[in-house]
Amino acid sequence: MTLRLANKELTPPVVLAPMAGITDRPFRDLVSSFGAGLVVSEMVASQEMVQAKPGVRERAELSADVENTAVQLAGREATWMAEAARQVADQGARIIDINMGCPAKKVTNGYSGSALLKTPDHALTLIEAVVEAVDVPVTLKTRLGWDDRLLNAADVARRAQDAGVQMVTIHGRTRCQFYKGHADWAAIRSVTDAVDVPVVANGDITSTETAQMALELSGAAGVMIGRGAQGKPWLLAQVSHDLYGTPVPTIPQGADLIDMVQRHYHAMLSFYGADLGLRVARKHLGWYMDEAGTAAPLRRTVLTSRDTEEVTRLLADALIQSEKVAA
């Protein structure tokens, strides 16, 4: 159940996906506390990182002693990508991931993210620059292709491997699909057949059953879980236990669940400051309350209150209403 990158081992091969505005340090730390082979930061724009734009460094902030953390970089110029990689490696990043999968228009309009699938020769210059800039393993996350007429993930992955990339993650959709339809895990097999480095399957993996199916259809060495972990930070550990026999996670319920969510809430307030922390926390609190089946009026009060003490107090009632067992 070990996925090897050079001298590093990812055990188990269940990875937290990079998600913009979600996989910040507080959430990564929480997921890691239950158990995950690797957690990946939200995408960091390389040029903004180097130029120290407000808020960017925070997205890449790492605990230096957290072994299973990767930082994902995005960009369109080799110089900025290389320098950003050097900076985050100096800050403690153990793995650098290159984003060639983000479908957002604000990213692709800048010829970054999945837009690089349309210019693989240029994409290769970015990959080579990052690999040459750092001593830590470099990985790549991308999609099946730009659209149904340009399904070039296998060729891109093969060239990336030749340039020194040590793991490739494939989201089983094209860029033009965004998140519509269902991820095509079977289509990922063309990539696993094309390269010798580990391939990780991503897209619509929300349970042990979907993780098992993705592994079987793709032939991948591991899975990456994104939206499925929203409101369920223990999900990766649960999948790891079910598939690989790792220790069974203790899924918090009742008072333990309230305590976990309150601690996550205050970790966000501490990390971002009260004003920004309040806004960032709302999405996470919303997902927790979705899982708990919180009544709409109370849910609305929790998400609109600007009084942190009131939110902390109300969370106890909001999370204990459910008779549903988290899983």
Distance CA 12, CA 120 (A): 31
- The residue type of 280 is V
Could you tell me which residues are annotated as the binding site?
18-20, 72, 141, 171, 226-227
Q: Is the pLDDT of residue 32 over 90?
A: yes
> What's the CATH number where 75 sits?
3.20.20.70
Residue 324's pLDDT is what? Answer: 43
Residue 305's pLDDT is what? Answer: 95
Is residue 148 located within the same domain as residue 110? Answer: yes
- The residue type of 117 is L
Last residue within a domain, chosen from 244, 264, 297:
244
Residue 50's pLDDT is what? Answer: 78
User: Which of residues 50 and 160 earns the better pLDDT score?
Assistant: 160
3-5 vs 199-202, strand pairing mode: unpaired
For residue 281, give Cα distances in angstroms to 23, 24, 54.
12, 11, 19
- The structure's pTM equals 0.92
Last residue within a domain, chosen from 215, 244, 273:
244
Residue 326 lies in a domain: no
Residue 9 lies in a domain: yes
Residue 174's pLDDT is what? Answer: 94
Q: Which of 74, 57, 68 is nearest to 32 (CA)?
A: 68
Residue 323's pLDDT is what? Answer: 43
User: Which of residues 220 and 92 earns the better pLDDT score?
Assistant: 220
Is residue 230 located within the same domain as residue 258? Answer: no
Q: Could you tell me the two tokens for 31?
A: 């997921």
Could you tell me which residues are annotated as the binding site for FMN?
18-20, 72, 141, 171, 226-227
Is residue 290 located within the same domain as residue 168? Answer: no
Distance CA 139, CA 29 (A): 21
| 176 assigned to active site | no
Residue 60's pLDDT is what? Answer: 53
pLDDT in tens, 149-195: 999 999 999 999 999 999 999 999 999 988 898 999 999 999 999 99
pLDDT in tens, 296-311: 999 999 999 999 999 9
Is residue 218 located within the same domain as residue 311? Answer: no
Q: For residue 12, say if its preceding peptide bond is cis, omega within 30 degrees of 0.
A: yes
Is residue 276 located within the same domain as residue 129? Answer: no
Other Cβ atoms within 10 Å of 182 Cβ, number: 11
Is residue 238 located within the same domain as residue 280? Answer: no
Distance CA 323, CA 263 (A): 22
Is residue 98 located within the same domain as residue 173? Answer: yes
Is residue 215 located within the same domain as residue 280? Answer: no
Residue 326's pLDDT is what? Answer: 42
User: Which of residues 174 and 102 earns the better pLDDT score?
Assistant: 174
Is residue 33 located within the same domain as residue 161? Answer: yes
Residue 32 lies in a domain: yes
Which is catalytic among the residues 16, 102, 134, 211?
102
Residue 102's pLDDT is what? Answer: 86
Q: What is the largest CA-CA distance in the chain?
A: 56
Mean predicted lDDT score pLDDT of the chain: 91
Contacts 24+ apart (CB under 8 A), 318-322: 318/289, 318/292, 318/294, 319/257, 319/258, 319/261, 319/288, 319/289, 319/292, 319/294, 320/254, 320/257, 320/258, 320/292, 321/292, 321/293, 321/294, 321/295, 322/291, 322/292, 322/293, 322/294
Task: Measure the CA angle with vertex 238, ends 237 and 242; round to 5°.
Answer: 115
Last residue within a domain, chosen from 218, 244, 270:
244
For residue 56, give Cα distances in angstroms to 73, 98, 114, 200, 295.
11, 16, 20, 27, 36
Residue 314's pLDDT is what? Answer: 96
User: Which of residues 264 and 10 earns the better pLDDT score?
Assistant: 264
Phi–psi pair at 313, nearest 5 degrees: -70, -45
Q: Is the pLDDT of residue 209 over 90?
A: yes
Residue 230 lies in a domain: yes
Task: Measure the CA angle with vertex 163, ends 14 and 150; round to 5°.
Answer: 75
Q: Is the pLDDT of residue 286 over 50?
A: yes
Residue 327 lies in a domain: no
Contact 63, 80 (CB under 8 A): no
Residue 41 lies in a domain: yes
User: SS3 for 110?
Assistant: coil
Q: Is the pLDDT of residue 112 over 90?
A: no
Residue 111 lies in a domain: yes
Q: How many domains does the chain have?
A: 2
Residue 58's pLDDT is what? Answer: 59
pLDDT (average), residues 11-18? 95
Q: Is the pLDDT of residue 293 over 60?
A: yes
Distance CA 86, CA 174 (A): 30
Is residue 222 located within the same domain as residue 266? Answer: no
Is residue 33 located within the same domain as residue 141? Answer: yes
pLDDT in tens, 51-78: 766 665 555 565 544 678 898 999 999 9
Q: Is 21 left (phi over 0), alpha (psi -120 to 50) or beta?
A: left
Distance CA 183, CA 174 (A): 9
Residue 202's pLDDT is what? Answer: 98
pLDDT band for 220, please (50, 70, 90 cuts).
very high
Residue 91's pLDDT is what? Answer: 81
pLDDT band for 106, please (50, 70, 90 cuts).
confident
Is residue 79 located within the same domain as residue 202? Answer: yes
Phi–psi pair at 74, nearest 5 degrees: -130, 155
Residue 324 lies in a domain: no
153: containing domain: 3-244
